[in-house]
Chains A and B, each alone.
Chain A
Amino acid sequence: MDIRKILFVTQFEELWFDALQSLLDLKRAALEHVVFVNVIEREKVALHRGVGYRKGEAIRLREKANIHFINWAETLFEQGFEVGVYIVVGALVPRVVEAAAKEAADLIVLGDRRQGGLKQFYAGEELAEIVQRSRVPVLLYRYAGARHEALPPFQRPLLATDWGPASQAAVAYLRRLGAVIGEINVVHVTDENQLRGDSAMAIQKTRKDERARLEALCQQFESDGIPARAHLVVGEPADLIVKTARQCQATMIVSGISARKGFGARWRGGTYRAIADKTELTTLIVPAPAVEKGR
């Protein structure tokens, strides 16, 4: 799937136009359409005892958002992009999911108010729910460090693979972005339990097999003109993925998410959430293909 259309969700507190500008090099891949979304939280304009629905406040917030979006849209229009806008009152999660479906967006971009954890995203669980409900990849945008520079995230991503369907979907997604990605690092974290054995040979064979699998994956990227490097590590996944990202100076971490119910989903969900919680980097979360979702 090409990234032709992105849904850029902003509450104006955490995600600004420079963040979007750092994504505009996706134009070299296929990006042509940016849709801005601002959700006016219902609580801000809800019925209050003795006041009623605060229509005036809703209008004020809507027009304030409109002023920002007109300014941003003018810049994008002049660069030849198509631009759309949704300014809606309601709950964040259903409104974002609804807009993504209406627009058939290829990527949802969400911001992080502060560094250091998913718990800080919007109102706690909202972002995780968007990720779970989304049929398309979700980019959790973070400004890099205290300098607040907006680095192009797709320049040097680190792909964390567990070989599952969502990881395969992530590979397919990234392979379409050869025009944008300068280099990709691929990491697989082997479970320590897999290394249990009586002989060093058996353990080394596991390492060799996983390494070969990683190299084969890197070959796929190389065949698309994307330089790729493999990293095989063993231990706790989230910690090691974040450390590897730091080690190879990645600009973004890419991870899959399975929609399967039960323990598997919790484990996988746990991993992507733990990564987002521990890293200061932007994270791209790719869902499993829709076929698996129905299972």
Chain B
Amino acid sequence: MTKKVLVVDDDPDVRLFNTTVIEECGYSALEAENGEDALTKVKQERPDLVLLDVLMPRQSGIRFYRELKTDPALKQIRVVLLSGIAKKTFLRSQKALTEFGGAAVPEPEHYLEKPVEPETLARTLKQILG
């Protein structure tokens, strides 16, 4: 069965770029334009991996990631961050949210800084999904 990757990014150009690479790797690509939209898609489609931007309208990747990783039914879904926001910021923000009373969440599978070369993205996907 073809593995599914959900691309979460508010920029349609970035989504197009990512979905093209994903499909060229032989996976099926899904799209969401913010964290809220992504959560709905994740529940419906149960992707194998989420390629996640951080800074988006409505709901950021930080809150989406937290919701995903604290939901027992969804927390096994792997996440690769693809963002201009630094990895250490992502980790510190999760730590801050944990300190404000939230549950601790694990680190994402992988982090890629925007912009990413198609070869780098393809290699990362294959490493994780096989």
Contact = CB atoms under 8 A, between A and B. Distances in A.
Contacts of A77: 54, 60, 62, 85, 89-90, 92-93, 96
A215 B93 CA distance: 45
Interface stretch (A80-88, A134-142, A237-245): A80-88
Is the interface on chain A under 10, 10 to 19, 20 to 34, or 35 or more residues? 10 to 19
B63 A74 contact: no
Contacts, number: 53
Contacts of A35: 57
B89 A78 contact: yes
B57 A82 contact: no
Interface in A138-154: none
Contact of B60 (A78, A79, A84, A86): A84
Contacts of A70: 55, 84-85
A84 B57 contact: yes
A49 interface: no
Given A77-B62, A77-B90, A85 B55 contact: yes
Interface residues of B, number: 21
Main secondary structure of the interface of B (DSSP, over half): loop
Contacts of A102: 57-58
Given A69-B55, A73-B55, A77-B90, A82 B60 contact: yes
Contact of A74 (B10, B58, B89, B96): B89
A79 B93 CA distance: 7
Main secondary structure of the interface of A (DSSP, over half): helix
B47 to A, nearest CB: 23
A179 to B, nearest CB: 16
Given A77-B93, A79-B96, A85 B85 contact: no
Contacts of B74: none
Given A66-B84, A73-B85, A78 B56 contact: no
B121 interface: no
A73 B83 CA distance: 12
Interface string A116-134: 0000000000000000000
Contacts of B54: 73, 77
Contacts of B96: 77-80
B21 interface: no
B10 to A, nearest CB: 8
9 contacts: A77-B54, A77-B62, A77-B92, A79-B96, A84-B55, A84-B58, A85-B10, A85-B55, A102-B58
Interface of A: 35, 66, 69-70, 73-74, 77-80, 82-86, 99, 102-103
Given A74-B85, A74-B89, A85-B10, 5 more contacts: A70-B84, A78-B92, A80-B97, A82-B59, A85-B56
